[in-house]
Structure 1
Amino acid sequence: MTFLETAWYEKAGWLIILWPISILFRLLALCRRRLQQISSRPSHINVPIVVVGNISVGGTGKTPVVIALAKNLKSLGINPGIISRGYGGSAAAYPLIVNSDCEVSACGDEALLIRDKTNCPVVVDPDRTAAINLLMQKFREEIDLVISDDGLQHYKLYRDLEIAVVDGNRLFGNGLCLPAGPLREPVSRLLEVDHIIVNGGSNDKENISGHVSRKPAQTSSANNFIECALAKGHKMVLKPTFLINLLSGERRPFLGAPFNIGNTIQAVSAIGNPERFYALLERLPHQMVRFSFPDHHLYREEDFEAKGIDMKQPIVMTEKDAVKCRDFANSSFWVLEVSVDLPNGFTENLVGQLNLEKG
């Protein structure tokens, strides 16, 4: 974690000096929300729009949720199209249709991973409405609903249903908005969403109460917000399944000792919350060295040399990282594949809420 992230989640006392700026941030965010909602109108595309996002900065696991949800919907005969901001990418022109051979520098790592894992139509554009328009223009006959990867705070985008993903381990840090805390919006925003998915951790009341620290007069109110919000939460579990060789495609079961005893694993990540990834790898009977890059970092081969990474020893990374290393990976590159277990009946419940007919 960065210095500021560490301070947020360890509830450092000095952050109080940033509290006035946080109040201003909340006011500006609220004004922006109201203005965007005024211009937001019910969609004319005749399919539901589902937004999957979060209220905090950093990785909460929303992209795995989008992938799992899309796969579950397809298994029910319902075909989603997906839009994304395209974080980490910079296209020459937007909106951009993401194909399997799309350059990650143009579309971003998350969008390319979603396209690879779901085989759904994916369009990226900072303007989500423009992304939807192109998605429906090109794939109207194939799409039964639209999923927006992120965009909870993009209020210009009309939505029929909202899903917020919460990191069950880190929760909300000190409970303050940026820059004094990690929140884009106050915790009370969770009372407005349709579903909350808690990624790992615990959602019991004692655990929740311990993760918010405010002035005494505000603490009870804040905790009540959290308890009420997470009462409608669903638990999600990320399960490591295989280590896949990025060059050959060889698959090795995660359980046991996938590498020779004595091998040191070099864990490489450029994701929002690398600690969750490292914690999974700690289950293996191998020594591990961690190498962290900024979120969405576009890897070059020389980055590995600069970090002192041994290209002859096992290098393990997430699927999101792997899509950026295909051009120079050798046989030492391995990808951690995880399965995402959404709550039982979650997808079916969502289908019922949206009045969709199963195929």
Structure 2
Amino acid sequence: MMLPIQDLRVRSVERLVSPRALKESLPLTEAANQTVYASRLAIQRILSGEDKRFLIIVGPCSIHDPVAALDYARSLQALQEELKGELFLVMRTYFEKPRTTVGWKGLINDPFLDGSCNIQEGLRLARKLLLEINEMGLPAASEFLDSITPQYLADLISWAAIGARTTESQLHREMASGLSMPVGFKNGTDGSLQIAVDALGAALQPHSFVGIDQEGFTSVIRTSGNPWGHLVLRGGHKRSNYDPESIQEACIRLLKGGLPQRVIVDCSHANSAKRPSVQETVLGSILEQRVRGTEAIIGAMLESYLFEGSQKIPEDLTELRYGISVTDPCLDWDTTEKLLRQSSRRIRETFSTGC
């Protein structure tokens, strides 16, 4: 008699819509396509040093309400047009959230915030929102946590992140080697830089791994390597890493690894001890370093939403407050607008005086 040994802890298996089917129901438009193409090229030129604008990836810690996210996107798009001479703005559209233990895993995993985990609907909502944002002419950035997700959404992403908890993962390094956009690797949660430097070197090389194709069939994916990987400094458990000494250390590590000396500083997370107001201090410091000649600093990341702070997801979802993060606390829009205008003015003044 055969004894049960398979799927002993699997409650159910549901077949997921294929990437091609989702894209046919929410097809890429010409306007969105042009936004993605032009934005990826602009970011590549910033990374290569050809474009001297400062890259700022800004937006909510996570997307949980597409309506509020669109409100934010409209404000950011208007500011992008005004400040485009000095800044290149990309909106954070993070749909997957890594959890240290347990918790809400993001819009794709649980779009209704109630534990129902309707992933089919989560993917649809994420793609629909990305289409609407890109059709405005505003580029989008996201963290890829699940290796399957890019097949559904990557054609609408201009900049991708590999997070602090997954930078050391071989699977994520392999995935990044095949992504079509620039990819930022964060240093580890303990502040260690070497795992991110190693990840950059790995993603630069060709890889072969198991994934899915556009029909959803399990396939062998063979990549050519991603030349646009770069380091994202987000601090660690014991200290921040945006000061001049930390930037210099990062550049030395990159140089030793034979990698371009290009870094983005995450003004949130451990660099601000997750206190929204400290992001202003971090941004001011790295901008001052940049205008004084530290060209390795090519950009910054800010966590910002319509209103300041964060909230827990209530049992009664009607009590959820509009435009406030349900994950890490964020800057409010008014403060964000002020910071972006100040940054643009500081860079413009530097260019005009030739300093």
TM-score when scaled to structure 2?
Answer: 0.32
Q: Per residue, is there more strand in 1 or in 2?
A: 1
Structure ranking higher on relative contact order (CA contacts 8 Å, 6+ apart): 1
Task: State the TM-score, normalizing by the size of structure 1.
Answer: 0.32
